[in-house]
Amino acid sequence: MNAARLHDATAVSDALELLALRYSVGPKFLTAPAPTPAEWQQAAELALRAPDHDGLRPFRFVSVADAERPALAELFARDAIRRGQAPADVDKARARACNGPGLAALVARVRDDAAGVPAHEQWVCVGAALMNFLNALHLMGYGAKALSGASVAAPEIRAAFCGDGETLVTWVVAGRPVRAAHSRHDAGARPVIGPWCPAAR
């Protein structure tokens, strides 16, 4: 949406309606194709629109090509063995590396030496970047989901994706959805915005 369209009520309404249809879509409901390298790049560039105090850019994304999935699968399997998993569970861990047609990792670097930018502000930036990334994929027509689990904390897997001071935050799976996305939660269960009423506190 260019600058002129930002003031076009119809274009804004259409964009809001599209964003309101974004829900997480798990890997079993995703099919090929995966995002192309150019689409991953475009989604990552939109992630840069996250609020970022002092421009620290405390995040980066790493796409995992199909040719690299077997190597990742072995990392998943070795970690399952390290945790004492049964052979069947080791096989399941290995298979998880091939979940979804497309796979990317979100890596964070939250610094403790950034004067005036506390850690919680940097984590807000990381989360906002993830949401922008997911929204971009959604607007491209992809379904996507952020997945964590034991793998993001596994020492060998973290070492394969992270440098010094970095944290493997989550995986993002993406592909074309094979069914309409929907919420798994009751959107009206708890209000998410309300007026400030200092006298009532």
Q: Which string of b and e fits 191-200 if b means at least 16 CB within 10 Å?
A: eeeeeeeeee
Q: Which residues pair with 170 in a beta bridge?
A: 106
Q: Where are the alpha helices (DSSP H) in the chain?
A: 9-20, 37-47, 69-82, 87-96, 119-139, 155-161
Instruction: Supply the CATH number for residue 34's domain.
Output: 3.40.109.10
Q: Which of 126, 141, 73, 135 is nearest to 103 (CA)?
A: 73
- Does position 109 have pLDDT exceeding 70, yes or no? yes
The whole-number pLDDT of residue 199 equals 80
Average pLDDT over residues 161-169: 97
Please give the angle made by the CA atoms of 146, 168 and 185, to the nearest 5 degrees.
25
Spell 7-39 as b/e; 16+ CB within 10 A means b.
eeeeeeeeeeeeeeebbbbbbebbeeebbeeeb
pTM above 0.75, yes or no: yes
Could you tell me if residue 7 is inside a domain?
A: no
Q: Domain count of the chain?
A: 1
Per-residue model confidence as pLDDT tens digits over 122-153: 999 999 999 999 999 999 999 999 999 999 99
Q: Is residue 83 part of a domain?
A: no
Domain range for 53 is 21-67+100-177
Q: What is the DSSP letter of 27?
A: G
Q: Which residue has 């929204």 as its token pair? A: 135
pLDDT-based confidence at residue 200 (cuts at 50, 70, 90): low
- Mean pLDDT on 192-200: 85
Measure the CA–CA gap between 139 and 154, rounded to whole angstroms: 32
Is 43 within 8 Å of 136 (Cβ atoms)? yes
Whether 159 maps to a domain, the answer reads yes
Residue 183: per-residue pLDDT: 73
Is residue 80 one of the residues assigned to a domain? no
